[in-house]
Amino acid sequence: MDSPLFMILFASIFVPSLKFSVANDYMNVALSDGKTLVSKGEIFELGFFSPGSSQKRYLGIWYKNIPIQTVVWVANRENPINDSSGILTMNSTGNLILTQNGSVVWYTNSHKQAQNPVVELLDSGNLVIRYEAETNPEEFLWQSFDYPCDTALPGMKLGSNLRTGLQWRNTAWKSPDDPSPGDVYRVYELYNYPEIYLMKGTTKLFRYGPWNGEYFSGLPDLSYGLNFVRNKDEVYYNFSKINDHVITRTVTNQTGYIYRYVWADEERIWKTYKTSPSEFCDNYRQCGPYGKCVSTQSQSCQCLKGFRPKSPEAWASYRWSQGCVRNKPLSCKDKLTQVFVKFEGLKVPDTTHTWLDENIGLEECRVKCLNNCSCMAYTNSDIRGGGSGCVMWFGDLIDMKQFETGGQDLYIRMDASELENTRKKNTQIIVASTVAAICLVLLLSTYFICKMPKNNAGNSLTEDNHTKHLDHLDIQLFDLPTIMTATSCFSFGNKIGEGGFGCVYKGILLDGQEIAVKTLSRSSWQGVSEFINEVKLIAKLQHRNLVKLLGCSIQGQEKMLIYEYMANGSLDSFIFDETKSKLLEWPGRLHIICGIARGLMYLHQDSRLRIIHRDLKASNVLLDENLCPKISDFGLARIFGGDQIEGNTSRVVGTHGYMAPEYAVDGLFSIKSDVFSFGILVLEIICGKRNRGLYHADKNLNLVGHAWSTWKARKAIELIDPNMKESCVISEVLRCLHISLLCVQQYPEDRPTMASVILMLESHMELVEPKEHGFIPRNVPNEEDLPSSEKDTSLTNDVTITLLQAR
């Protein structure tokens, strides 16, 4: 690299043949503050800018015709200029030099010499120094793409040049006002089986999983337009343009996320189409060694078959980092009694300690792994065409994720007895299925004893009309005899809930699976459209914090939804019950708050559709056997298009006590009205009181008003439910209270998004002071004074509705 003195000497020497390319023209002048260099197609622009509220000046590249200045590259990100005296020139060696009042601020370090080099900004966003004679237009003396900042553009590499040692990585800006490198970065680690990580310092936050020939193992839904290259000279990945009319970029953010944006020209905004990590199971090493993370299960972390929790106590308390251990330990002396068990649909483990041979097949790979007692697992390195290549893992297997569809096969070393146990279980399943089939034939007679009135022809036509709306959905349609058998003919002993919609029954299918059957009475407010709406919505949703719809049943006018059974009923049955609330200590309540937040963010941002729930409340949050929260009841939910952010209705439905003011008064609903309901719910979880009750000395405040006045008086600690005071971490509780008050602010634009809520819950970022709350005071009686028939109800104008609550 040239010395600064050498650079300064030549910075003042202009060679007439040295040129800057501006659009289609060439100029023999320096680039000063206020002037810009524009790419030929007028897509990108190079010049001086000040980020955010900063007054400092930087040399950078941004999109020319996008009204929101979006900077994709910064030259002097670590050495800003204090005023407008910056100037960019080229010296006789063909290097660019940025100076301020004669002092070198930044310069390029190309050691190649060339006659008459040219500086050009390409339409790809790449600033290059190249030979003037375009004998090889792709050969550059220097290029900005070799020195990425926080943004990856189509064609930009992420990886390493094995000849020069140059590493291409994305490093976050410290803040929107400061482009200097933060401590969060995206890097391609060159293990034997290389893969991409999102890092914070030396801590791994998220990994893509290795490239398997078709996609990154941990991102099976991200494959279009990706390119992966590994040869003796370089290892890298990049992505291509979708087409010339779609503008995309990928940004590594200091918050610990990777955002993939697409420019929506009609709305004139950047839209996020992919966020990584996007869910709990994407976070690195959540489940410890030999644990797999399953997003769609109530308990995300599960031990692989043949393994058990290392610490059952910690596992039951959602502390999964210790992971799992083998039911039967392995020994090098017993290699002849060891086999490999196939596990399907996985994000393969972290590849830090791996061995790779791309020239052998799966069988030879198995033999090599078996003969090395340190080898714990193997699979194909390339899954194309039936699979090829061999990769082996040594040491503990960590950071695995289970996919419902996609994923890879992994062959894990086990004691032979575990394979025998698996065969026995399979045999038992076959026997049980056979017995169940025989029992089903015998139990069909139950239908004729318990059956509902016969359907007439009109009902049959209605049933056909209903089911045709569901044919295209991947959902099971249960027949009536199956449901009747499971619920013992809807016996009173199996009844677990009742409301305006009908009854909820517990049932057990012939395979032993427990279910909750929500029946829809003929007099229910929820008609066909609401029923179809709920089925369509939930069928498309897959998240561990949303109740899972197993199927539905339409028999004439009888309509039923079949859900997974929630052993602990609804959240309100815990937090508002004097006995049960003592069992729900602060760690469990915080886990529930975070789970609800993740489920709501999935609805608002990460699902295929933008969904507004419109009736989030304590009775619509169900708890499984591990007290994992699941949002339920989507009968009132609304689907939004990708560009729609709010809607309005003349039919206001929901629950007083949880409605945002703009919705209750004007019928306006949006993701921010759901955020308001979430804020109310967090207050109730912390305080152990219903919002609809009246509090304070003169009984003139609901819970929100009481919390607001107590917060302003700096006595927020008085709000904490006495049943959890011994278990709570005061700083965590006060932070959650603070967040809840931000969520219930009067104006929607002041409330955070759920993505921001999760960031605030999981970090120590400074929180802004909340503004006046937005709850509308109502002269309602205290909850304890209401008749039982009116407790926990939803109101739609003058109609009373009680939504699903499995108790």
| Distance set, CA 451 to CA 99, 264, 519, 537 (Å) | 88, 55, 15, 30
Length of the chain: 807
Query: Between 754-762 and 586-601, two packed helices, what is the crossing angle to 10 degrees?
Result: 150
Distance CA 528, CA 544 (A): 27
Distance CA 751, CA 754 (A): 9
Distance CA 150, CA 72 (A): 7
Question: Cβ of 789: how many Cβ atoms within 10 Å?
Answer: 8
- In 3D space, the residue among 552, 556, 305, 375 whose CA is nearest the CA of residue 452 turns out to be 556
- Residues serving a catalytic function are 615
Apex 709 CA angle, 708 and 710, nearest 5: 90
b/e 450-459 (16+ beta carbons within 10 angstroms → b): beeeeeeeee
- In 3D space, the residue among 561, 563, 559, 438 whose CA is nearest the CA of residue 513 turns out to be 563
At residue 253, φ and ψ (nearest 5 deg) are: -110, 150
Cβ within 8 Å of residue 147, ≥6 positions away: none
604 secondary structure, DSSP code: I
b/e 590-613 (16+ beta carbons within 10 angstroms → b): bbbbbbbbbbbbbbbbbbeebbbb
Query: Between 586-601 and 671-687, two packed helices, what is the crossing angle to 10 degrees?
Result: 170
Distance CA 684, CA 679 (A): 9
Longest dimension (CA), the chain: 101
Structure tokens at 588: 């469990």
Helix (H, G, I), strand (E, B) or coil at 124: coil
Question: Cβ of 326: how many Cβ atoms within 10 Å?
Answer: 17
Question: Cβ of 104: how many Cβ atoms within 10 Å?
Answer: 18
Question: Cβ of 541: how many Cβ atoms within 10 Å?
Answer: 21
337 neighbors 331 (Cβ within 8 angstroms)? no
Sign of CA dihedral 402, 408, 411, 417: positive
Distance CA 586, CA 583 (A): 10
Sign of CA dihedral 295, 751, 68, 54: negative
Q: Are strands 117-121 and 19-22 parallel, antiparallel or unpaired?
A: parallel
Distance CA 637, CA 640 (A): 10
Please provide the DSSP assignment of 319-340 as one string: --TT-EEESS---GGGGGGEEE
- Residue type present at position 164: T
Query: Between 671-687 and 703-712, two packed helices, what is the crossing angle to 10 degrees?
Result: 80
At residue 659, φ and ψ (nearest 5 deg) are: -75, 135
Helix (H, G, I), strand (E, B) or coil at 142: strand
Q: Are strands 170-175 and 178-189 parallel, antiparallel or unpaired?
A: antiparallel
Helix (H, G, I), strand (E, B) or coil at 459: helix
- Residue type present at position 570: S
| Distance set, CA 774 to CA 647, 697, 741, 754 (Å) | 19, 22, 10, 18
Q: Are strands 549-555 and 476-477 parallel, antiparallel or unpaired?
A: parallel
Peptide bond into 277 cis (omega under 30): yes
Q: Is 791 annotated as a binding residue?
A: no
**Which residues participate in the annotated binding site for ATP?**
518
